[in-house]
Amino acid sequence: MKVGVVYDPVYLGHDPGEHPENRHRLEAIVSRLQETGLWEKLTHIAPRPATMEELRRVHSESHIRYVRELVESGGGQIDADTVVSALSYEAALYAAGGAESAVEAVMGGEVSSAFALVRPPGHHATRKQAMGFCLFNNVAVGAAHAMDKYKLQRVLILDFDVHHGNGTQDIFADEPRVNYISVHQSPLYPGSGSMEERGAGNMFNIPLPPDCGDGEYARVYDEIVILIARRFKPQLILVSAGFDAHWAYELASMCLSINGYAQIARRIKALAGQFCKGRLVFSLEGGYNPAPLAGCVKAVFDVLLGNERIEDRLGFCPSRESPPDIVPLMVRLKESFGLS
């Protein structure tokens, strides 16, 4: 069972300055994987830049041109959160292309699963707009590639970043070959992601109240995500893997532990095994504290490699009070999604 990793130093070139989404995130992940000996157990997949034709599957021509011209002019600010520097366009092309390289390796059978360690992240980038640290929507480019090149008819995108993936929703709201499930905190940036936003019936938003932890997330996967997957029967699962629902991230209010992320990864791996011959691609989204981020990513690789033991140096949230009661929400979600 080979597990792939997509990584290239080109991703370090995107430099938004003093910013939570910086190169140290990837450096911390790679160091942790190297120190612990996991790095050499992985199959290394070289990313390539996405082509214009591939980007145009999910982005408007004017959006692509805008990002390129801003970078060519020396960089600058797109919105309050989203900044580009001289090497950002190249990094963004390779981030989108990295998701495609991971899809190719999994679809070609070189590896059974893969994790694209890319930046800038992607899930807030809409068809026409960069926002929320994201320039191009890497997972969407990967999903479109799977549908175009491999003629897949059913691609499931799971998004466990603490923020709603408004960009992915925008891009695929009318695409019946995609089911998108986002489990995110609400209220929180970017403000979208209510359960009523159903696209063409293929969007499944699971907005959770603050303070949800490992137990609440496990329930969501066991009682809702699995039913949607069972009904859809995906041929490939892509994951927008954001680790900012870890309790140590102070700009959100979730309480997942590293072990909790491992539990989620186990469930997703089981779904891939059940429905699509294990074909599974993770693509890095958020997660801004280097230590928890590196620990969570390592835990996902441990799960993919089949290692039983998960190292959680940080443990559970020290200040967590009582967890919220999500039972009424789960009932409403099941009704809304036609699962009951």
The interface region with Zn ion, picked from 154-162, 210-218, 264-272, 293-301 by CB under 5 A, is 154-162
Q: CB of residue 190 vs Zn ion: minimum separation in angstroms?
A: 10
Reduced to 3 states, what is the DSSP secondary structure of residue 287? coil
Q: For residue 210, what are its two tokens? A: 């603050």
Residues between 250 and 309 with contacts to Zn ion, criterion CB under 5 A? 286
CB nearer to Zn ion: give 58 or 245: 245
Q: How far is the CB of 277 from Zn ion (least distance, A)?
A: 30
Beta-strand relationship, 3-6 and 43-45: parallel
* Residues forming a β-bridge with 44: 5
Name the catalytic one among 124, 145, 164, 184: 124
| CB 137, min distance to Zn ion, A | 14
If DSSP codes are grouped into helix, strand and coil, which group holds residue 222? Answer: helix
Binding flag, residue 244, Zn ion (CB under 5 A): yes
Q: Which is nearer to Zn ion, 161 or 216 (CB)?
A: 161
Q: Which stretch binds Zn ion (CB under 5 A): 35-43, 155-163, 223-231, 325-333?
A: 155-163
Nearest to 253 by CA among 184, 199, 182, 337: 184
Task: Write the interaction track for Zn ion spanning residues 218-237; mark x where CB under 5 A is met and - where it is not.
Answer: --------------------
From the list 10, 239, 232, 230, the residue with the least C-alpha distance to 103 is 239
Give every CB contact of residue 317 below 8 A, 6+ residues apart in sequence: 213, 247, 248, 255, 257
Minimum distance between the CB of residue 221 and Zn ion, rounded to whole angstroms? 19
Closest contact distance (angstroms) between CB of 287 and Zn ion is: 8
**Residues 160-179 close enough to bind Zn ion by CB under 5 A:** 161, 163
The Cα 162–Cα 186 span in angstroms is 9
* H or E stretch covering 236: strand 236-241
Closest to Zn ion by CB, 54 or 170: 170
* Residues 178-207 within binding reach of Zn ion (CB under 5 A): none
User: Which of residues 161 and 302 has its CB atom nearest to Zn ion in the complex?
Assistant: 161
Examine the residue annotation and report whether 124 is marked as an active-site residue of this protein. yes
**Which alpha helices (H) appear in the chain, and where do they start and end?**
23-35, 52-56, 61-72, 88-107, 138-149, 166-172, 214-220, 226-232, 258-275, 290-305, 327-336
Build a one-symbol-per-residue string for 77-116: x at contacts with Zn ion by CB under 5 A, - elsewhere.
----------------------------------------
The gap from C-alpha 2 to its chain's centroid, in whole angstroms, comes to 21
CB 205 within 8 Å of CB 197: yes
Which residue, 89 or 243, has its beta carbon nearer to Zn ion? 243
167 or 278: CB nearest Zn ion: 167
| Angle 248-137-195 from CA coordinates, rounded to 5° | 65
The answer to whether 21 contacts Zn ion (rule: CB under 5 A) is: no
Tokens at residue 104, please? 């190719």
Under DSSP, is residue 323 helix (H, G, I), strand (E, B) or coil? coil
Q: How many residues bind Zn ion (CB under 5 A)?
A: 5
Cα–Cα distance between 257 and 218 in angstroms, integer? 12
Question: Nearest approach, Cβ of 173 to Zn ion (angstroms)?
Answer: 20
59 binds Zn ion (CB under 5 A): no
What is the nearest approach in angstroms of Zn ion to the Cβ of residue 66? 23
Does residue number 242 form part of the binding site for Zn ion (CB under 5 A)? Answer: yes
Residues forming the active site: 124
Q: Return residues touching Zn ion (CB under 5 A).
A: 161, 163, 242, 244, 286
